[in-house]
């Protein structure tokens, strides 16, 4: 039985928000806390599975109620910011929902951050509380007050539960802060409102015909969740799963293709959302032909367009499986997704990122600097802004300037053709070269540097640094210096060190484009010689 009073309509109107007219659903839920009521609908169905631990929907509701009462008793309330620092676990999910239940704002720290990135973010945020698992707590600045991470996922129901935030609350209030790598400097905290998160969920449920009134208690998929919860994709997965009754199956630790294959077979996984690197590792594993993977019906791939070659690999690499491969396009600043391509779309139009979701407007801004224009997005899902930062990529008319290049064909399909942003995407993680260069500049003996991405057969890209050094500074020493300053995935894995100045272009700036082109050519030559 659904106890939430929200109506999930399919009629779309226009509504002004902060001076911008957005397309939006007329009948809609207003706060993410209200979604907790759906746990009652699914009852004793498994909701979270990791290792030996299995938590039902009823168990989650009881654990959230108990933790919310604990947080409220400690003085946590509406609008207070709480840093969540940890890896995927039932405790991470319980803490997230407990914050939502008391109206607090979960701030999702990247568990890969180094000590310097954590210290910078904590100094910016004016936090009420930090909740961290054991690994995360070890990296926190000295003197940080840390609350209890553990949650009782076997808690008994309490007689007077802390109520979830009601439907009368402000849907434009902050619901969550998710960090993203900017094209320059340190990670930025993207403030997403309740409207933003729920509008994105509403659109996806609408186009897949899974609005709450369209499904019954027999529905619900088992999904393999291998991405981090602290990304926007993790938040989207979390709020969808509780609404439609999905079981979230998570690896016990780091991604392991052998474990992924076992979980697909044991849990009858029907949905898997992954970055291309993970899919490639599964396809290359020797057990792929020995496991029964026929339950897998949908494989959503993020971080790169789905091309025909990839679809061919799936058809030959997953015996007996013909999964739909939907994809889409979006960014954290837009709440995660702006377009969607169905499995049929990716088959008939390989490489497309799909068409705009129902409330999303797309535009291509011709810049003159590139063959294609910059992709602009206007949607009720977009961020309120960056926390503590005045600059914004959203213009006065409400258009989010993505920095990505593309075109829209006559049928409305979006094609991503390049990145105007100076960004490296390594295994699904965004890395700002400027942030790595800034960290390098703080190391004695580094004169100047240029950081860029080079192709990697498994990760898509890896980070390379060309560095001018003094006093015999080595790559190993540079790696050691960078580890506490950067997230582990941002530390360069390839190096070119030299005593001479780096080459410059006609404007006197370091010729990063030329350096990257030469490095890629050298790597291709080495690969050819090895072959």
Please report, in tens digits, the pLDDT of each residue of the chain (531 residues total): 344 546 899 999 999 998 899 999 999 999 999 999 999 999 999 999 999 999 999 999 999 999 999 999 999 999 999 999 999 999 999 999 999 999 999 999 999 888 888 998 899 999 999 999 999 999 999 888 899 999 987 766 664 454 444 444 689 999 999 998 655 557 899 999 999 999 999 999 999 999 999 999 888 899 999 989 999 999 999 999 999 999 999 999 989 999 999 999 999 999 998 877 788 789 889 999 899 999 998 888 765 566 676 777 777 888 777 778 888 899 999 998 999 998 888 888 888 899 999 999 999 998 765 567 899 999 999 999 999 999 899 999 999 999 888 899 999 999 987 766 677 888 878 887 878 888 898 899 898 899 999 998 888 899 999 999 988 899 999 999 999 889 899 999 999 999 988 887 655 678 888 899 999 998 888 877 665
Contact status, residue 179 vs residue 121, Cβ threshold 8 Å: yes
Where is 63: in which H helix or E strand? helix 57-73
* Strand ranges (E), 87-209: 105-108, 129-132, 146-147, 174-180, 188-193
Where is 346: in which H helix or E strand? helix 343-348
Count of beta carbons in the 10 Å neighbourhood of residue 143: 5
In order of start, what are the domains of the chain with their CATH numbers? 31-169 (3.40.50.980), 424-530 (3.30.300.30)
> What is the model's pLDDT at position 185?
58
Give Cβ neighbours of residue 358 (< 8 Å, ≥ 6 apart).
Answer: 12, 23, 203, 206, 207
Strand 373-378 and strand 361-365: the pairing is: antiparallel
> What is the model's pLDDT at position 304?
59
109: helix, strand or coil: coil
Count of beta carbons in the 10 Å neighbourhood of residue 5: 11
Per DSSP, the residues of 29-44 read ---GGGGGGHHHHHTT
> Residue 222's beta-bridge partner residues?
247
Name the nearest CA neighbour of 218 among 45, 40, 56: 45
Give Cβ neighbours of residue 235 (< 8 Å, ≥ 6 apart).
Answer: 108, 176, 178, 197, 229, 336
> What is the model's pLDDT at position 529?
64
* Strand ranges (E), 420-498: 424-426, 429-431, 446-456, 460-469, 494-498
Return the CA Rg of the chain: 23
> What is the model's pLDDT at position 209?
94
> Residue 300's beta-bridge partner residues?
273
Kindly tell me the burial class for residue 337, based on how many C-beta atoms sit within 10 Å of its own C-beta (0-12, 13-18, 19 or more). Answer: buried
| Number of alpha carbons in the 13 Å side-chain half-sphere of residue 430 | 23
> What is the model's pLDDT at position 165?
46
* Strand ranges (E), 122-173: 129-132, 146-147
CA–CA separation, 223 and 274 (whole Å): 11
Q: Which sign does the torsion angle of CA 151, 65, 239, 55 carry?
A: positive
Name the nearest CA neighbour of 15 among 1, 26, 27: 26
């Amino acid at each position: 039985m659904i106890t939430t009073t929200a109506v999930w309509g399919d009629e779309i109107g226009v509504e002004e928000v902060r001076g911008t007219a957005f397309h939006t659903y007329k009948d809609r839920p207003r706060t993410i806390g209200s979604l907790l009521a759906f746990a009652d609908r699914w009852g004793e169905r498994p909701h979270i599975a990791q290792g030996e631990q299995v938590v039902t929907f009823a168990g989650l509701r009881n654990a959230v109620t108990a933790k919310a009462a604990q947080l409220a008793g400690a003085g946590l309330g509406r609008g207070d910011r709480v840093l969540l620092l940890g890896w995927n676990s039932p405790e991470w999910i319980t803490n997230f929902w407990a914050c939502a239940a008391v109206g607090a704002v979960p701030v999702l720290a990247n568990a890969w951050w180094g000590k310097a990135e954590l210290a910078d973010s904590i100094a910016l945020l004016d936090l009420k509380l930090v909740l961290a698992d054991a690994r995360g707590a070890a990296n926190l600045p000295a003197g940080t007050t840390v609350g209890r991470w553990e949650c009782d996922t076997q808690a008994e129901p309490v007689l007077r539960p802390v109520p979830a935030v009601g439907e009368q609350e402000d849907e434009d209030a902050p619901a969550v802060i998710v960090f993203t790598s900017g094209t320059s400097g340190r990670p930025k905290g993207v403030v997403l409102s309740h409207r933003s998160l729920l509008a994105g969920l509403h659109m996806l449920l609408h186009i897949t015909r899974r609005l709450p009134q369209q499904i019954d208690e027999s529905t619900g998929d088992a999904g393999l969740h291998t991405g981090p919860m602290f990304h926007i994709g993790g938040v989207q997965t979390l709020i969808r799963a509780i609404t439609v009754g999905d079981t979230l199956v998570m690896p016990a630790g780091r991604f392991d293709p052998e474990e992924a294959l076992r979980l697909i077979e044991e849990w009858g996984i029907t949905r898997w959302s992954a970055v291309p690197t993970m899919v490639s590792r599964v396809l290359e594993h020797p057990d792929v032909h020995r496991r029964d993977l026929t339950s897998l019906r949908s494989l959503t791939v993020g971080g790169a367009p789905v091309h025909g070659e990839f679809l061919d690999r799936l058809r030959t690499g997953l015996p007996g499986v013909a999964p739909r491969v939907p994809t889409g396009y979006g960014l954290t600043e837009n709440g995660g997704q702006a377009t969607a391509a169905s499995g049929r779309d990716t088959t008939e139009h390989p490489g497309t990122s799909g068409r705009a979701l129902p409330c999303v407007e797309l535009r291509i801004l011709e810049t003159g600097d590139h063959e294609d224009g910059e992709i602009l997005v206007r949607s009720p899902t977009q961020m309120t802004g960056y926390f503590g930062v005045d600059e914004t990529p959203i213009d006065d008319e409400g258009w989010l300037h993505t920095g990505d290049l593309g075109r829209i064909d006559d049928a409305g399909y979006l094609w991503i053709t390049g990145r105007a942003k100076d960004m490296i995407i390594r295994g699904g993680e965004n890395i700002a070269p400027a942030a790595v260069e800034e960290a390098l500049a703080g190391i004695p003996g580094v004169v100047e540097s240029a950081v860029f991405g080079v192709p990697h057969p498994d990760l898509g890209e890896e980070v390379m640094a060309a560095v001018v050094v003094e006093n015999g500074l080595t790559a190993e020493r540079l790696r050691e210096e960078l580890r506490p300053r950067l997230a582990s995935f941002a530390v360069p894995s390839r190096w070119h060190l030299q005593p001479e100045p780096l080459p410059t272009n006609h404007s006197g700036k370091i010729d990063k484009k030329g350096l990257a082109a030469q490095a890629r050519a050298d790597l291709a030559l080495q690969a050819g010689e090895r072959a």
